Structure 1
Amino acid sequence: MLAVNNLTKTFGQNVAVDDATFTVDQPMMIGIIGRSGAGKSTFLRMMNRLTDATSGVLEFNGRNVLDLKGHERRAWQSDCAMIFQQFNLVPRMDVVSNVLHGTLGRRSTVATLFNLFPRDDIHRAIDILERLGIAEHAAKRAEALSGGQQQRVAIARALMQDPKIILADEPIASLDPMNAQTVMEALRRIHEEDGRMVIANLHTLDTARRYCDRIIGMRDGRVVFDGTPGQLTTGVARDIYGAGDDFSEGATSTEIRDDHEQLEEAERLLAKVTV
């Protein structure tokens, strides 16, 4: 389905993505991990055509999407929906209208200008909100919702595009553990129930292992790991993050743990600092 070959992006003398190569032969949920600046976001932006590649090939179903222009490029961006860390909603607009904005790519200029939506689209938007557990907030302004709820609105907007691929750029980075879990479970259900490919940039190893079928590790723009969650050992993680023996997965965990578990983790980390 997806073939990435020698994909490279440079900004002047800086190489953001360096000769990335991998293939995906079926819809799956893929997590891309790595420290900040590893090239994860730039890769997704090239895939969605928000940023042009410097060189390389990115094929989906045999078509190089990097060559698309004009209408074909916009059509690809509908097929390859993007979810952002900061939600990118219109704060003062009601929730259902934000979701309906997922149809902008196929609407006329006049309909867009006057915010006119077909009844079928409105019903579909509400159905999607229901599926994500937030239909009761449809008439509220987006800014009135919690961060986790706003991210689910952003997911609903992406689903309105009926995409073949959903790209999620750090979708839980600004969320608390409870909301992070809700958002990741929603993305996982979308993959399993709809058969859509989901590619998510993630900071935390426990999240990648728990929700993803496949994990790609990036360091300094290069793909340095490509394997299953079970193959992502602590040693491999050290290599991906360029960390030493003191690397602690617990410091990046988003798992919901009880007070006793959190106290044990805090004592363990304190002991290391004391030594």
Structure 2
Amino acid sequence: MLDVKDVTRMFGTKAAVDRVSFTVTGPAFVGIIGRSGAGKSTFLRMMNRLTDATFGQIMVDGTDILALRGAQARAWQSQCAMIFQQFNLVPRMDVASNVLHGILNRRSTMQTMFNLWPRADIIRALEILDRLGIAEQAPKRTEALSGGQQQRVAIARALMQDPKIILADEPIASLDPMNAQIVMDALKKINVEDGRMVIANLHTLDTARRYCDRVIGMRDGRIVFDGTPDQLSTGVARDIYGADASFNESATSTAIPTDATADRVYADAMLS
């Protein structure tokens, strides 16, 4: 169970995240949508302890993860895997080693220095890559892969951690529509088959409607919508994004190719 209570992050006098509160029970796929600067990434970074909160609580199964320090905070990060827009892989390292780095915090310094991995861990990494359809890429340098393949390597690295929660910060923003669909399909499959909670920051309304069980809309650091995908009406979209027609381009970029209807409706509304 995830229970977020009044989580706030101040930068000087400005609240990047302003008293955010919500509860998630069970392995839901939660999408967080909103314009750039709405506080989406800052919130995920607080969940993963990459950024400190100014105040508030994030309770996971009864433990306030914002209160954890030192080894306990690092242990939480292994249970809360993060997937980034720009992949955050080691470009010159082979794919399999990048995946194995998901469990670096469980290895000794000597083992890490000499790149020594137990056979069981190597087999597991290859099995995860096979599940994501890229096992044949295991010996290649990561920099030789396409963007979509690199994002699947990043997902494999996250799965290597065997996390309770997967956080995805704009995981398809830099991908073409076809690779975006492959990556989102992979995350949804992990959510459904593994029973892992997935929380993803997303840009397009269509993607949120298609993949999420629940959608949270943020604007200026605050939650302005919390509901199901079928409640994402044009009026709700205006509350989240505002009526600025300049958002039209962002709303329709990287749309999953199978159904762009929702984004076209919103784009038409912005231009009307």
Question: TM-score scaled by structure 2?
Answer: 0.93
Closer/same/farther in 2, CA of residues 252 and 238 from structure 1, 3 Å limit: farther
Matches within 5 A, 1:263-274: none
Whole-angstrom CA distance in 1 between matches of 2:138 and 2:65: 35
Gaps of 5+ in 1: none
Question: Is the contact between residue 93 and residue 142 of structure 2 (CA under 8 Å) also seen in structure 1?
Answer: yes
Match in the other structure for 1:224:
224
**1:148, CA displacement in angstroms?**
0.2
**Structure 2 counterpart of 1:231, which letter?**
Q
Question: Is the contact between residue 30 and residue 198 of structure 1 (CA under 8 Å) also seen in structure 2?
Answer: yes
Matches within 5 A, 1:64-79: 64-79=64-79
Whole-angstrom CA distance in 2 between matches of 1:250 and 1:221: 19
Closer/same/farther in 2, CA of residues 235 and 125 from structure 1, 3 Å limit: same
Whole-angstrom CA distance in 1 between matches of 2:26 and 2:215: 15
**1:144, CA displacement in angstroms?**
0.3
Match in the other structure for 1:208:
208
Whole-angstrom CA distance in 2 between matches of 1:225 and 1:106: 39
Match in the other structure for 1:254:
255
Whole-angstrom CA distance in 1 between matches of 2:254 and 2:189: 22
**Structure 2 counterpart of 1:230, which letter?**
D
Whole-angstrom CA distance in 2 between matches of 1:130 and 1:160: 13
Whole-angstrom CA distance in 2 between matches of 1:71 and 1:251: 42
Matches within 5 A, 1:110-125: 110-125=110-125
How many corresponding residue pairs? Answer: 266
Closer/same/farther in 2, CA of residues 186 and 243 from structure 1, 3 Å limit: same
The answer to whether structure 1 residue 99 and structure 2 residue 99 are counterparts is yes
Deviations 1:126-147 (A, max 9, x none): 0000000000000000000000
Partner-residue secondary structure (3-state), 1:38:
coil
Question: TM-score scaled by structure 1?
Answer: 0.92
Matches within 5 A, 1:50-69: 50-69=50-69
**1:110, CA displacement in angstroms?**
1.1
Closer/same/farther in 2, CA of residues 128 and 99 from structure 1, 3 Å limit: same
Match in the other structure for 1:11:
11
Whole-angstrom CA distance in 2 between matches of 1:129 and 1:213: 26
Whole-angstrom CA distance in 2 between matches of 1:157 and 1:253: 24
Partner-residue secondary structure (3-state), 1:6:
strand
- CA RMSD, Structure 1 to Structure 2 (Å): 2.2
Question: Is the contact between residue 207 and residue 254 of structure 1 (CA under 8 Å) also seen in structure 2?
Answer: yes
Partner-residue secondary structure (3-state), 1:19:
strand
Matches within 5 A, 1:83-232: 83-232=83-232
**Structure 1 counterpart of 2:20, which letter?**
A
**Structure 2 counterpart of 1:62, which letter?**
G
Question: Is the contact between residue 180 and residue 254 of structure 2 (CA under 8 Å) also seen in structure 1?
Answer: no
Deviations 1:1-35 (A, max 9, x none): 00000000001122100000000111110000000
The answer to whether structure 1 residue 22 and structure 2 residue 29 are counterparts is no
**1:244, CA displacement in angstroms?**
5.0
Whole-angstrom CA distance in 2 between matches of 1:141 and 1:246: 39
Partner-residue secondary structure (3-state), 1:66:
helix
Question: Is the contact between residue 2 and residue 58 of structure 2 (CA under 8 Å) also seen in structure 1?
Answer: yes
Partner-residue secondary structure (3-state), 2:179:
helix
Question: Is the contact between residue 30 and residue 216 of structure 1 (CA under 8 Å) also seen in structure 2?
Answer: yes
Displacement over 4 Å in runs of 4+: 244-250
Partner-residue secondary structure (3-state), 1:90:
coil
Question: Is the contact between residue 184 and residue 211 of structure 1 (CA under 8 Å) also seen in structure 2?
Answer: yes
Larger Rg: 1
Match in the other structure for 1:33:
33
Deviations 1:89-138 (A, max 9, x none): 00000000000000101111111111111100000000000000000000
Whole-angstrom CA distance in 1 between matches of 2:73 and 2:251: 41
**Identity value in percent:** 71
**1:252, CA displacement in angstroms?**
4.0
**Structure 2 counterpart of 1:121, which letter?**
D
